[in-house]
Structure 1
Amino acid sequence: MKRVKTLLLGSAAGLCAVAGAQAADLPVQKAAPVEYVRVCTAHGAGFFFIPGTDTCLRVGGRARFEYQYSSQNARATDVSSWRGLGRLNIDARTATPYGTLRAFIRFEIASRTGGYLRSGTQERFANAFPATGIDTAGQLQKYVDVDKAFVQFAGITAGRAQSFFDFYAGDLELIGSGQYSNTNTNLLAYTATFGSGFTATISIEDPIYRRAPVFAQAAPLSMGQGNGFGPALGIAGVSSIATGYFPGTTIPTGGIGVNVIQKNDMPDFVGALRYDSAWGSAQVMGSVHEIKTIGRIGTPVAVGPDAEYGWAIGAGVKVNLPQLAPGDQLWLQGAYGQGAGSYTGLYGPPGGDLALSNVTNKFQINQVDAVLQNNGQLNLTESWSVMGAFLHYWSPEWRQAVFATYGQQNFDPRLRNNNFGPVGITGGAPLGATGPAGPGAPFVNVFNPTLMSYDQFYGGTNLIWSPVRDLDIGVEVVYQRIWLPRAVANNNLGTFAPLAGGLVTTGGAARVTSFDDNVMARIRVQRDF
């Protein structure tokens, strides 16, 4: 028995030895190394390396709810506005021998309804809600916006980005709508860094996003020109300029048809000198904006007014005030321009090529960069603005901003002379009523709705609660007012009855006004990540 056990054990040992020898001859399969996502600290918090590359990526975004109530006076205007907005930020950075190579993209996707938050020119895109019914036309819009998409490398910025003219751009407001420049545009810029916080930038920028129309009054029918576009509304179109006058009169002896619609020619040129330090920031900036119409119509060669060059200058300062509370800030800014109302912040958004009031609906004003004069020249419109804003943290969770802006648009007084001003403008009291200068009076009639200079104020306050990080729950109240300092206008909200010779109020006299105002209340809930 003992011999049998020994034999069995020896056989088992031999089999194990043979199996082990064969196993040693087989190739060994090693598991592939796992490349985990690594944190990238070189460019700030939130960045990580894209696996297999040396590029750091940060993905962020925003979800926002907004509601606004506006004290509009006209029945045809929405008083409630709603918006739900989603934002996606993608920031990619790579270290190179020439500095950081950066690509930044920001998409905004939203659904908005009502009057203030919508864009009537963008009511249908791709699969958007059509908004074509009798109760929805102009009332609802779904949209996707490439808010920013630019590349930065070795001092160069190329793509869609914030204009380098901008300084304060509504930073402390829920919805920035005051008199200051706040424009995303297509641009190519170079920034030189001098050290000690100083930088200088020169930028060529897309003029479309800065364009306001040229005012052109329709020509008298006797001249055989004009296109019936409703020139009193300031719509760019076809007008005419006089080629001569009967001696001692303002009656033209002939005219040339001119198309005053603008087309792209030269880009806008923007320059900015900026200083940044622990105490805050300061900037001076300037811009040049070409205004050029198509020119003469009806001939192979376009001949018309020479191009004019609008311009704007500005300066701003931001002061950090940690001595009051951590995070406190004070902003001050001013701008002045000729033929560049977008840079001073006086005009509406791109595409607003009509008369706008931007307040309620008592009257309309023309927001134009230039006026085609009777003598064929372009007269540039003057505008200026000032603003101030202050942010205070009552506690780490509660903060409040107070802000105010004031601006003014002025037309050259000489434009109120028929022999110098726009072709076809006639005097007379409004709609045949009797005004201070009487029926048939010259253009200086204060009731004439065309080319009215105006002043505008916009100011308010907001209170924001942040119970946890990156969550804001806020309310804002804003007051907006517009004046006609040297004129009065027909009050569109008045009750009129038709009478021979024109329209007058039921009381027998035209109802007029010299100001318009509005109060807006807003609510926002926002989460950033």
Structure 2
Amino acid sequence: MNIKSLLIGSAAALMAVSGAQAADAIVAAEPEPLEYVRVCDAFGTGFFYIPGTETCLKISGYVRFQTDFGRDQFGASDWNSWTRARVAFDAKSDTELGTLTSFIAIHGESGHGGLGLDIENAELVGLGSGASSDFYIDEAYIELGGFRVGTFLNWWDNDLIGETETASNVTRFTSVRYVYDGGTFRAGLSVDEIPDYFDYLAGATAYHNGFGVSGMVAATLGGVNFELLGAYDDTTEEGAVRAWLSAEVGPGTLEIMGLYASGPNAYYQAAEWSVAADYSFKATEKLTITPGAQYFGDYELVDGNDAWRVGLTVDYAIVDNLNLKATVNYTDPDNDDDFVTGFLRLQRNF
């Protein structure tokens, strides 16, 4: 090989190396692989892993349109329409102390008030509370094992399948509670803050915090469910007890409930004592019918003012996750005129 051939070969080799380096310089780096959302089936349907974590999250909620009706129930009107949106976030993860849960449910409502229209003078005189949306936290709590702290609905908020009975006051409290869940047997104790306490006897808000203590024992045996609730309101020094029994009977579910209140309290004050029952059955695959009845002893805690109520609730599944509910109830107190109440509700769940 002569010198000329050697120089030519070396130049060609350098050009090849340079060309390779130039080509490498303009090649884009490969994108990192995407991390797709993974389904988390450890805690039920709808949960998925938050990317990069071992925490499972479920997002759910509904949009509800409802029209309520009843004599003298809405100021000068006998009916009112309103809308609610609910969004709930449920995050769960396993720990050495049990399941760690954080739950947030946000409500937005509109339509409970009026526009302040002066009909006689045909002018808008002001905006009522229902003219703008009202956003609030329905529930927000932390739970580890059986311990729960935060703001959430008490056991008293659970009632019968139908919409006829009055089984509690609004019982959303900021509480600390513990529940033992043995499957067929459950028991719990809750200490509840009652803020801006309403003085039932004076008929005015006393603007100080009170507290209550509520307890629950429940059992499930086959198709029979039993629950006993007790509560004590420290401010009024009154309490309430409620027993509930549910059983599969024939083509439907029979429920029976008994209630007692020693006096006005934050948990129950519709009557001194009461019994209620309903029977829910599926008339078709989409249609559920629930007749119900309730008797009140000393209705609204007025001596000698007994009352009775009968009603009917109808649930119809229009399509998946879109449901229609209608209820109508007739109430007849001893010391007042009888009256009819109810509502028509359209709700889309997700």
TM-score bucket (shorter structure): 0.7 to 0.9
Instruction: Give the number of aligned pairs.
Output: 339
The aligned amino acid for 2:48 is F
Instruction: Report the structure number with the largest CA radius of gyration.
Output: 1
Report the equivalent of 1:101. Answer: 100
SS at match of 1:172: coil
**CA spacing shift, 1:338–1:60, aligned 2, 3 Å:** same
Report the equivalent of 2:298. Answer: 409
SS at match of 1:44: coil
**CA spacing shift, 1:395–1:313, aligned 2, 3 Å:** same
- Are positions 1:466 and 2:287 aligned together? no
What is the CA deviation profile of residues 487-510 of structure 1, one whole-angstrom value per residue up to 9, with x for unaligned ones? xxxxxxxxxxxxxxxxxxxxxxxx
CA separation in 1, counterparts of 2:179 and 2:314?
Answer: 36
**CA spacing shift, 1:341–1:269, aligned 2, 3 Å:** closer
SS at match of 2:319: coil
Report the equivalent of 1:191. Answer: 179
CA separation in 1, counterparts of 2:139 and 2:278?
Answer: 25
Cα deviation for residue 197 of structure 1 reads: 1.8
Tell me if the contact between 2:60 and 2:89 (Cα under 8 Å) persists in the aligned partners. yes
- Give 2:262's match in structure 1, choosing from 328, 331, 338: 338
- Give 1:214's match in structure 2, choosing from 195, 201, 216: 201
Report the equivalent of 2:208. Answer: 263
Normalised to the residue count of structure 1, the TM-score between the two structures is 0.56
What is the CA deviation profile of residues 213-260 of structure 1, one whole-angstrom value per residue up to 9, with x for unaligned ones? 224xxxxxxxxxxxxxxxxxxx359xxxxxxxxxxxxxxxxxxxxxxx
Tell me if the contact between 2:146 and 2:179 (Cα under 8 Å) persists in the aligned partners. yes
SS at match of 1:19: helix
**CA spacing shift, 1:341–1:453, aligned 2, 3 Å:** farther
CA separation in 1, counterparts of 2:165 and 2:17?
Answer: 86
Unmatched runs of 5 consecutive residues or more in structure 2: 1-7, 119-123
Tell me if the contact between 1:288 and 1:312 (Cα under 8 Å) persists in the aligned partners. yes
SS at match of 2:297: strand
What is the CA deviation profile of residues 105-159 of structure 1, one whole-angstrom value per residue up to 9, with x for unaligned ones? 111111124xxxx6xxxx9xxxxx7999658657756322211111111211111
Tell me if the contact between 1:463 and 1:474 (Cα under 8 Å) persists in the aligned partners. yes
Identity level (%): 22
Cα deviation for residue 81 of structure 1 reads: 0.7
CA separation in 1, counterparts of 2:277 and 2:332?
Answer: 17
- Are positions 1:482 and 2:336 aligned together? no
* Match runs of 1:293-304 below 5 Å: none
CA separation in 2, counterparts of 1:73 and 1:28?
Answer: 70
* Match runs of 1:369-388 below 5 Å: 383-388=272-277
Report the more deviating stretch, 144-153 or 475-484.
Answer: 475-484
Report the equivalent of 2:234. Answer: 290
- Are positions 1:455 and 2:303 aligned together? no
Cα deviation for residue 270 of structure 1 reads: 0.9
SS at match of 1:149: strand
Cα deviation for residue 165 of structure 1 reads: 3.9
CA separation in 1, counterparts of 2:162 and 2:296?
Answer: 19
CA separation in 2, counterparts of 1:384 and 1:318?
Answer: 20
CA separation in 1, counterparts of 2:44 and 2:80?
Answer: 37
CA separation in 1, counterparts of 2:107 and 2:73?
Answer: 32
SS at match of 2:16: helix
**CA spacing shift, 1:136–1:479, aligned 2, 3 Å:** farther
CA separation in 2, counterparts of 1:80 and 1:135?
Answer: 20
SS at match of 2:306: strand
Cα deviation for residue 393 of structure 1 reads: 1.0
* Match runs of 1:10-25 below 5 Å: 15-16=15-16, 19-20=19-20
Tell me if the contact between 2:197 and 2:208 (Cα under 8 Å) persists in the aligned partners. no
Cα deviation for residue 39 of structure 1 reads: 0.9
Greater share of strand residues, 1 or 2?
2
**CA spacing shift, 1:524–1:26, aligned 2, 3 Å:** closer
The runs of 4+ residues in structure 1 deviating greater than 6 Å are 8-14, 21-28, 129-133
Tell me if the contact between 1:465 and 1:472 (Cα under 8 Å) persists in the aligned partners. yes
Report the equivalent of 1:172. Answer: 162
**CA spacing shift, 1:62–1:24, aligned 2, 3 Å:** closer
Report the more deviating stretch, 14-23 or 139-148.
Answer: 14-23
Report the equivalent of 1:67. Answer: 67
CA separation in 2, counterparts of 1:149 and 1:73?
Answer: 30
- Are positions 1:520 and 2:341 aligned together? yes
* Match runs of 1:295-444 below 5 Å: 309-321=237-249, 324=251, 328-346=252-270, 383-409=272-298
Tell me if the contact between 2:58 and 2:91 (Cα under 8 Å) persists in the aligned partners. yes
- RMSD of aligned C-alpha atoms? 3.7
CA separation in 2, counterparts of 1:97 and 1:147?
Answer: 30
Tell me if the contact between 1:165 and 1:271 (Cα under 8 Å) persists in the aligned partners. no
CA separation in 2, counterparts of 1:319 and 1:87?
Answer: 31
CA separation in 1, counterparts of 2:196 and 2:277?
Answer: 25
**CA spacing shift, 1:69–1:199, aligned 2, 3 Å:** closer
SS at match of 2:337: strand
CA separation in 1, counterparts of 2:348 and 2:258?
Answer: 32
Report the equivalent of 1:202. Answer: 189
Tell me if the contact between 2:46 and 2:58 (Cα under 8 Å) persists in the aligned partners. yes
The aligned amino acid for 2:186 is T
Report the equivalent of 1:32. Answer: 32
SS at match of 1:82: strand
The aligned amino acid for 2:246 is K
* Match runs of 1:39-54 below 5 Å: 39-54=39-54
Cα deviation for residue 191 of structure 1 reads: 1.2
Normalised to the residue count of structure 2, the TM-score between the two structures is 0.82
What is the CA deviation profile of residues 275-306 of structure 1, one whole-angstrom value per residue up to 9, with x for unaligned ones? 235524211121111236xxxxxxxxxxxxxx
Report the equivalent of 1:253. Answer: none
SS at match of 2:152: strand
Cα deviation for residue 458 of structure 1 reads: 3.2
What is the CA deviation profile of residues 463-511 of structure 1, one whole-angstrom value per residue up to 9, with x for unaligned ones? 2221311111232222122223xxxxxxxxxxxxxxxxxxxxxxxxxxx
